[in-house]
A and B are shown apart, each in its own frame.
Chain A
Amino acid sequence: MWKYILKRLLMMIPVLLGVTFIVFFIMSMTPGDPAAIILGDQATPEAIAQLREELRLNDPLLLRYVQYIVDMLHGDFGESYKNGISVASQVLDKFPNTAILAIAGILVALAIGIPVGIISARKQYSALDNVSMVFSLIGVSMPVFWLGLLLSLLFALKLGWFPSQGMGKGFLPLLRSLVLPAITLGTGSAATVARMTRSSMLEVIRQDYISTARAKGLAEKVITKRHMFRNALIPIVTAVGLQFGHLLGGAMLTETVFSWPGLGRLMIDSLNSKDIPMVLGSVLFMTIMFSFVNLAVDIVYAFIDPRIRSLYKKAGFRKRRAIAA
C-alpha cells in the first residue's frame, strides 16, 4: 500500500510539470502586457520598459519557465504582480474558505444525490424514478450562476433569510452565509451523484448474489444496504471524488456570484489583471488538490472492495492464484 502511494505521489511530478508548462505558455500567448496593466494607463513607455526588464518579461519563454520551476523547487512561487504579496501565502490564505464551501457543497450533494439515486433504482421506471431523473437532468444542465442568482434573489433579497454576499465571521453567521452557496454548488453535484448512484445500483440489483440474499430471507432494506449499496459504491465514490476535486479547486462561478473569498475568485481576479505568478500558483495548487483527492479515492476503493485490497497487499501464493483465476 505505502509503495503504491509513493508511486502515485511520484507520478504527480510529470503531471505538475505539464500543467505549469501549459498554463505558462497560454498566459504568455494571451494579449496584453502585464507591465502595462500593473502600471496603469498613465505609465510612460520608459517605465513600462523598465518594469518589463525587472520582471524579466523580455527573456525567452523557455528560460522564464525553467527559472520558474527552479524557484518553485526552492519553495518560491513568486510574488503577485498586483500587490507584491507572495503567491503561496495568498493561496493558502484563501484555501480554507474554499475548503469550507467545497465540504458543505459535497455534503449537500451526498445528502440529496445518494438517497434519490437509491430510491430511483429500487423503483425503476416508477413515477418517482421518472420525476427524480428529470430533476437531476435539470440539475446537471442548469447553469450554476443562474441558480445562484435565483436563490439569492428569493432567499436573500426577498425573504432575507440568508445573506446574499460574503462569508460570515463566527460559527453561526458563517453557517448562515454558507447555506446558499453550498446549495448552489451542491445541486449540480447532487444530480451527477444521483444519476451515478442509480445506474450503479441498477447494475448491482441484477446480480446473482442479490437473489442469494433474497433467498436467505433478508428484508429488502437490509439487502439494499448491506448487499446492493456496498457493491454499488465504487463508481459512486469515483463520481463524488471527481466532484469534490473540482469543488476544492475553487468554484469560480459560485464564489463570484456570492462574493465568497475563495480560490476561485482569487483566480478570476488574477486572470483579469494578467497576474501570471498568481494564476500559475493557483492552478498548480488546484492540480495538487485534485491529484490528492484522486489518490484518496483510490485508497478508499481498497477499503470498499477486498479484491482491490488484495492487489495492494503482498499477496501470498494462494491469494495470488485466486486473483489470477
Chain B
Amino acid sequence: MGSSELIRVEDLEIHYETDDGVVYALNGVSLHVKEGETLGLVGETGAGKTTLAKGILRLIPSPPGKIVGGKVFFEGEDILSYSETEMHKIRGNAISMVFQDPMTSLNPVMTVGDQIAEVIAVHNPDLGKEELRERVIAILAKVGISSDRIDEYPHQFSGGMKQRVIIAIALACNPKLLLADEPTTALDVTIQAQVLDMIQTLKKELNTAMILISHDLGVVAQTCDRVAIIYAGRIVEEGDLRDIFKNPRHPYTIGLLESIPSLTKETKRLNPIKGLMPDPTNLPPGCPFAPRCNYACEECSKAVPELEEVNPGHLVRCIRIDSVEEVR
C-alpha cells in the first residue's frame, strides 16, 4: 500500500465517572490507520470498541464520559485539542461514523432525503436546493436506493435499507475515514453480506480508510487489511490479517479463534473462553486477561504487560508468548 498515515491514536484514555465509581473504558489505546486502509477492531461487549470510535470523534457524552489522556492525530493535527466548532467541521465531513442499530439511528420524523441533505448542506453551505437534491439522489443511487424513495420516512424502510441510508449519510461528504461501529450486527445474515460488499465497493471507489468495529471475526477476515484485538480497554494484539488469523500470539486472540466452529475439522462442541471480562470499574492490577488465561503465571497478575513487537507490524501484549508457543 505504502500510502501515508491518516490517523494516529496515542495512549487514548477515556473514563466514565458514574455514581458507582469510575468505569475505566479505555486505558491507553494506540493505533494508526493509513489512507484507504481498513483496520478491524475486535473485542467482546464492553471492551471499549464503541468508546474508542466515539472518542475519536469526541462524541462521548459528558458527563459521565471524560477523555482523560492521550492524543488523536488526524492528518498530523491533534484533533483532541480542537474546539467544538472546529470539530463540527470534521464530523460527517472528514471523519464520519456508522452506528450499530439502523432501526434507531435515523430521525423518525424527517424524510431520508432531508437527513442525507442535511449533512451535505452543513459542510457545503454554498450549495443550492437543486444541487443538494441532485447530490442526495446520486448518493442514494450509490447505496442502491432508487430516487423515488427520497421523500419517504425511515419507518417505510426495512432494516437493511435503513443501514444503506445511514451509510449514505456517512459517505455523503466523501470522508477520509469511516468509523463503522458494528454496521452489520443488527441485520440478517443475507443482508449483512450485501451491506458489507457495498461498504467495500464504496470504500474503494472513494479511497476511504475505515475502522471496522466488530465482534465477528468472520466479518473482519472478509474486509480488513489489519486487525487490532481489544480487551478491557487495551489493545492486546495487533497485526496484519494474516498475522492474526494464521499466527495469533496472545492467548485471548487464540481463544477467540478457537471458539469459532471450523467447517473443515469436525467439532463436537464449541470451545469458548471461560469466564467473563473483568468489571471495568475494578480492573485487576496485572494483565486483565490473566484470570481467564490458560497460560497465566504469578508474574501475570503483577503488572500490565507492554505491547511488544514480535514481528514487524505484529504487536502482542503478553509476557508469556514464548511459553504459549511451546504449549501449542
- Residues of A that sit less than 8 Å from B by CB: 207-209, 211-219, 222, 226-227, 230-231, 304-307, 310, 318-319, 322-323, 325
Contacts and interface: CB of A to CB of B under 8 A. Distances in A.
B158 interface: yes
A217 B111 CA distance: 19
B328 to A, nearest CB: 42
A306 B108 contact: yes
B109 interface: yes
16 contacts: A208-B99, A208-B105, A209-B104, A209-B106, A212-B105, A215-B57, A216-B122, A217-B123, A219-B88, A231-B108, A305-B108, A305-B109, A307-B155, A319-B156, A322-B155, A325-B158
Nearest to A318: B156
B26 to A, nearest CB: 18
A148 to B, nearest CB: 39
Contacts of A218: 88, 92, 118-119, 122
B208 interface: no
B227 to A, nearest CB: 24
Interface string B97-132: 101010011111111000000110011000000000
Nearest to B90: A217
Contacts of A307: 108, 153, 155
A208 B101 contact: yes
B91 interface: yes
B213 interface: no
B92 to A, nearest CB: 4
B59 interface: yes
Contacts of B174: none
A219 B122 CA distance: 9
A216 B118 contact: yes
A36 B195 CA distance: 84
Interface residues of B, number: 34
B106 A217 contact: no
Contact of B91 (A217, A230, A305): A217
Contacts of A227: 107, 110
A231 B154 CA distance: 14
B89 A217 contact: yes
B145 to A, nearest CB: 14
Given A211-B99, A325-B158, A216 B105 contact: no
Contacts of A322: 155-158
B91 A214 contact: yes
B169 interface: yes
A230 B114 CA distance: 14
Contacts of B158: 322, 325
- List of 10 A-B pairs having minimum Cβ-Cβ separation, nearest first: A217-B91, A217-B92, A216-B92, A208-B104, A306-B153, A216-B119, A215-B97, A209-B107, A208-B105, A217-B88
A219 B91 CA distance: 11
Nearest to B118: A216
Nearest to B120: A216
A313 to B, nearest CB: 12
B214 interface: no
B184 interface: no
B211 to A, nearest CB: 14
B177 to A, nearest CB: 12
Given A226-B110, A310-B153, 12 more contacts: A207-B104, A208-B104, A212-B99, A212-B166, A215-B59, A215-B170, A218-B92, A227-B110, A307-B153, A318-B156, A322-B158, A323-B155
A4 to B, nearest CB: 19
A157 to B, nearest CB: 48
